[in-house]
Amino acid sequence: MKKFMVTAFTGFAAFLLSLSAAPTAHAAGESFLKVPVSLSYSSTYWWRGVELNGKDIGVAWGSAGLELGDTGLTLSAAAGLSEDYMLQTDDSTDDYKTNKKSQKALTEYDYGISYAAEFADLVSLGLGVMYVHYAYYDEADSTAIDPSFWEGSFSLGIKTVLNPTVNFYYDYYVEERTGSDGTKTPVNEDYYVKFSVSQDVYSADGFTFGIGAWAAYYNNAYLEADGWSDAGISLRTSKEAGNARFSGTAYYARSLSSDFQKEYTGVGKLKNHLWAEFGVGYTF
């Protein structure tokens, strides 16, 4: 099964590449290849209903891509570093060393290929394949199971009032996990479905202010969690200046079913979440 799934994801990636095979006209002097780069910081690593790296522990992301003209095809690579890992400096205690290793284990690398298209100025379509790699997953525990996974994604949106969109993600983990009852968790049973709406409230001179909301269902066989995972709202701003783009977003979300209301020391089950994200990007 594992060999079949890897072959399927590889085939899907080849299909996305084939979408760019048709010749596309370009304006004189316009480069076929574009290279977007970005750097962002989020005050928590929000992941499908939980604060993945721990309560109020931020994450910094660096990313780079390669856009193939007007084909809609993009190759990308990104790295996410835990705030605790980057900022800790007191290396004189055992607690520091233990926590440093735990935070290093959360370091994430994403490698992906995606395709985006619009039809009749009404329908937006997205397809993608990504490999999410935790290179240091066993840094703190040599017996840890590799949580890295392949992810296939599909999105469909309608460009109208509130721009309703559905996103579907299918995850295939590289290693099985032994559940609490001693049975092996199948690595190919994870999926996440997100329903969202968004609307630009104001847009002028490269500045945009918008609002959004979402609700999502998550079946995570790997962590034995299942149900309506999260719902939330967002307030976003962005400013474009030439090839540069600056953005800031404020979020409120609620973890819905009990499987996603993770226990945190001192606060018990955490249901309500507030965080902010800031980013800057440039396209060469």
Own/partner contacts of 181-188, CB < 8 Å, gap of 24 or more, are 185/221, 185/222, 185/224, 186/221, 187/2, 187/5, 187/149, 187/222, 188/1, 188/5
The model's pLDDT over 147-182, given as tens digits with 9 standing for 90+, comes to: 999 999 999 999 999 999 999 999 999 998 877 777
Does the model's pTM come out above 0.95?
A: no
Q: What is the pLDDT of residue 98?
A: 77
Highest averaged pLDDT of the listed ranges 52-56, 95-99, 229-233:
229-233
Of residues 173 and 14, the one with the higher pLDDT is: 173
pLDDT digits (tens, 9 = 90+) for 37-51: 999 999 999 999 999
Q: Is 194 left (phi over 0), alpha (psi -120 to 50) or beta?
A: beta
pLDDT of residue 32: 87
Identify the residue with better confidence: 181 or 78. 78
Angle, CA of 255, 261 and 267, to the nearest 5°:
115
Which is more confident, 7 or 216?
Answer: 216
pLDDT tens digits, 210-253: 999 999 999 998 888 999 999 999 999 999 999 999 999 999 99
% of the chain with per-residue pLDDT over 90? 68
Where do the structural domains in the chain lie, given as residue ranges? 2-14+35-283
∠ at Cα 43 (95, 139), nearest 5°? 35
Q: What is the DSSP letter of 184?
A: E
Q: Residue 143 pairs with which residues in a beta bridge?
A: none
- Domain 2-14+35-283 CATH class label: mainly beta
